[in-house]
Amino acid sequence: MSPIRRFRPEDIGVELFPALTRGLYRDPLDALREYIQNAIDAKADRVDITLTRDVVSVNDNGAGMTPEQAQAAIRLGISDKNPVDHVGFRGIGIYSSFDLCERLEIHTRPAKGHPSLIVVDFRTIRALLADEEQRRRRREPPQLHLELMLSQAVRVEEDQQSPVLDTGTLVLMREVRGGFYKKLNDIGQVRTYLQAVIPLPFDDDFRFAKPIGREFRKEDYRVVSVTLTAGGREVAIYRPYHNAMFAHGGQYEPRFYDVTSPETGERYGFAWVCINDARKVFDDRELRGLLIKKKGFSVADRGYLEPIFGRTVVSRRVTGEVIVEHSDLIPNASRSDFESNGARADFQVALLELTRKVSEWVDEVQQKLKAFEQLDEVSPRVFEIHSQIPSFRQDTQRLLDFNVELSQLKRPLDVHSKVLESERPRELKKALAVIAEAEAMLRDMLSRKPKKTPGNLTAKAVRRGKDAPTEEETAHRKDRPKTVMEVLTSLDLVMTEPLKLAIAYIDENLLRPYVPGDQYAAEMEALREYLEEKI
């Protein structure tokens, strides 16, 4: 029988180190994410990031590390963190800045005990890796293994002159490598990145910040305040939601949903959802759809849930987040999805139920908005016809045309009467009263029984005109598409330039010249509704 061969430290090659760090952290900004993640795991509620030409610092007010914890932190691929309670738990994040800088320093001070300093000399690691590669090229046997390399480049010592004066941790990435300087010092790019991956608070200017914040507190969902300083400019970073993203500033309160599987009854978290207040997708492509977050950090992107919605346009008319709290749902290393297990499969069922409920709300709101659009379009024309009727008392054909048009204008009000009676009863009553009076005037004139006081009717029509809908009441009319191209653009359909030219030609030369204006507008609305149902 052959002797049992034990696994030895020298059996772990040094190439594993760059393979792990580069494989998991392809973006230099990922290092910021990892160190902020460690801060949140240490119960920090404030993080200050400073970006300079040579140094990137991440300073938090968390619990800090004891000397024993600092010694444990330098282990590679070993972590004491429980994935139930912490975001980071793979024991690799401390080395995430390998490609970013030449030297890493971590100054940390616990509430009790002396402060510690962790030093990782990435320049030495790179030199050792290069030497080993040259030996391999010369076909010489390897002389370096991972344990030996890290022993020469990583150390923990007592911090005799710690810059951390209170409890917390200061991460210093020194001698930032030239290729990453430009990206790190683009404050806009860094802010956009952090907004997508960090559990940030809402800006107070976001009108729904308070109700969503109350839900966060109810769910015991923590956020961390982050301040970013670069180029002498200091900015506080918030979640990217703002009032201007809504077509009319946000007229519908957010809704909150339990994310629960209808098959098992298992609760995976909760979701908050906002809807656009016009029958159109959000203009800001970065905010369309629902973003999944675990412990505040994004998993995948907003496109992840789009296929689960029955219609793509529904996903693009909402924005919000699915906050995952279930311990068995663990993000994969790249945070593009959750690790495959039974919980993930059941979670997909819960997401189907969530998107069904959100779709019902979207349809409900869209029906309201459609009713409002119909009322806002009909009302001005009704007042206009009412005021014009006396001037055409001798023109029978024109009076007949008015009679037909009034009948057509009344039809959409009847279709949406239930919604309008509930939401805008005063305006509906006014429009129907004017229609009824106009129809009475037409019946009288067409039967050749003139009114005794036509002058009074004209004056009444003028008075009615003064009560016509205001600009605020007709604000939603501007959201209605006026051309074929506007219909397609409002649905965010992808089109090539040749196709756009062809559509524009057909619209301008084959449709608009031969379709009356009122009918053309109605056809555009019908086209939008047809496409919304089909895509």
How many Å apart are CA 183 and CA 172, to the nearest integer?
Answer: 17
pLDDT, residue 470, reads 54
pLDDT, residue 494, reads 74
pLDDT, residue 305, reads 95
DSSP at 508: I
Mean pLDDT to the nearest integer, 93-113: 91
**425 pLDDT more than 50:** yes
Model confidence at 109, pLDDT cuts 50, 70, 90, reads: very high
pLDDT, residue 42, reads 92
pLDDT, residue 428, reads 95
Residue range 136-185, pLDDT digits in tens: 788 888 777 778 888 899 999 999 999 999 999 999 999 988 777 777 77
How many Å apart are CA 134 and CA 36, to the nearest integer?
Answer: 37
Residue range 438-493, pLDDT digits in tens: 999 999 998 864 444 444 444 344 344 444 555 554 555 556 677 888 888 887 77
Calculate Rg over the CA atoms of the chain.
Answer: 33
Q: Which two tokens stand for residue 455?
A: 């002058």
Amino acid type, 271: A
Residue range 361-384, pLDDT digits in tens: 999 999 999 999 999 999 999 999
**289 pLDDT more than 50:** yes
Yes or no: say if 385 and 406 are a contact pair by the CB < 8 Å rule. Answer: yes
Q: Which two tokens stand for residue 196?
A: 């997508």
Q: How far apart are the first and last CA of the chain?
A: 67
Model confidence at 13, pLDDT cuts 50, 70, 90, reads: low
Pairing of strands 297-299, 289-294: antiparallel
User: How would CATH label the architecture of 9-186?
Assistant: 2-Layer Sandwich (3.30)
Amino acid type, 476: H
How many Å apart are CA 294 and CA 292, to the nearest integer?
Answer: 7
Nearest 5 degrees, angle CA 82-CA 85-CA 91?
Answer: 40
Yes or no: say if 198 and 291 are a contact pair by the CB < 8 Å rule. Answer: no
How many Å apart are CA 170 and CA 107, to the nearest integer?
Answer: 5
pLDDT, residue 469, reads 52
Query: Distances in Å between the alpha carbon of 301 and those of 196, 267, 289, 306?
Result: 9, 22, 9, 10
pTM over 0.85: no
Mean pLDDT to the nearest integer, 382-407: 92
Residue range 241-276, pLDDT digits in tens: 999 999 999 999 999 999 999 999 999 999 999 999
Q: Where are the domains of the chain?
A: 9-186, 481-535
- Over the chain, what is the mean pLDDT? 85
Model confidence at 129, pLDDT cuts 50, 70, 90, reads: confident
Q: Which two tokens stand for residue 322?
A: 């699915």
pLDDT, residue 148, reads 83
How many Å apart are CA 187 and CA 189, to the nearest integer?
Answer: 6
Yes or no: say if 194 and 226 are a contact pair by the CB < 8 Å rule. Answer: yes
